[in-house]
Structure 1
Amino acid sequence: MAETIANWFVTTFEGTLAREWIVFLVSLLPILELRGGIIAGFAMNMEWLPTFIIAYIGNILPIPFILLFIRYIFKVLKKTPMRRVVEWCERRAEQKSEQIRKYAYWGVFLFVA
């Protein structure tokens, strides 16, 4: 599925956008993320290192905004038909919060290492 969507981006926008922008935009999408960006770069015959760097930046860029605005986004979504999904996500996060606090040091250690 990721390959199909990435190839659609390539065939649709290759003449109008630079290859680097296509990789970046594909990497921003939640479904495709890094994998889709790399597939799109290879489909356009880009070198592997620039493809990986651009896809990685595109994949990481939304994270600070999500962390900053997730409470506001949930507040807005609770007023829509997505209310049950949002409440489920909040309950699940609350259930896992103690486990995350307990192993936070080791999780960060392993992630950085």
Structure 2
Amino acid sequence: MEYIHLLLISMMPIIELRGAIPIGIAQDLNPIYVYMACVLGSTLISIPLIIFFRQVMQLLKKFKVFYKLVHKIDNKINKSMKKLRSVNILGIILFVAVPLPTTGAWTAAAIASILRMRIKDSLAGILCGNLISGTIISIISLGII
């Protein structure tokens, strides 16, 4: 049951797996199961987030106040879409892999939505980034470094 709690904690914004892994290790739980539960939770939440952020962008286009901003973002993305597609997944991986606040799955999902990445590409990038970040946080939490 503790691992389900950690999975749910890792889905929370700001905390994500960066906070859930140290909590699980502090509770003397098996570090491997803590790692797996937290990576899974932090990655699974990104699917609805990507879809949600896309809907928010569409909704913002309907309001005059935000239309210019959203339209400007869309134009910028459309102009550089070929360049962005080749760097998207790597960029998301590197962004999520850095274990700092606000560089987790929630922010990466928003970025992927803005860049209109395919869901499977953004999910793959977020998963790889979570695997790297989770490893770093686990090693630090276990006192290996």
Q: TM class by shorter-chain length?
A: 0.5 to 0.7
Q: Please, which of 18, 38, 59 is the counterpart of residue 21 of structure 2?
A: 38
Larger mean Cα displacement after TM superposition, 70-79 or 40-49: 70-79
- The amino acid of 1:99's aligned partner reads K
Paired positions, count: 90
Question: In 2 relative to 1, CA 37–78 (structure 1 residues): closer, same or farther, beyond 3 Å?
Answer: farther
CA RMSD of aligned residues (A): 3.7
Map 1:81-96 → 2, pairs under 5 A = 83=66, 87=70, 90=73, 94=77
Structure 2 unaligned regions, length at least 5: 91-120, 129-145
- Larger Rg, first or second structure (1 or 2): 1
Structure with larger RCO (C-alpha < 8 A, sep 6+): 2
Question: In 2 relative to 1, CA 35–96 (structure 1 residues): closer, same or farther, beyond 3 Å?
Answer: farther
TM-score (norm 2): 0.46
Contact 1:22–1:40 (CA<8 Å) still a contact in 2?
A: no
Structure 1 unaligned regions, length at least 5: 1-17
- The amino acid of 1:21's aligned partner reads I
1:18-73: CA deviations, max 9, x gaps? 31122111100121111111011012111100000000100100122222332212
Q: Aligned equivalents of 2:33 and 2:25: distance in 1?
A: 11
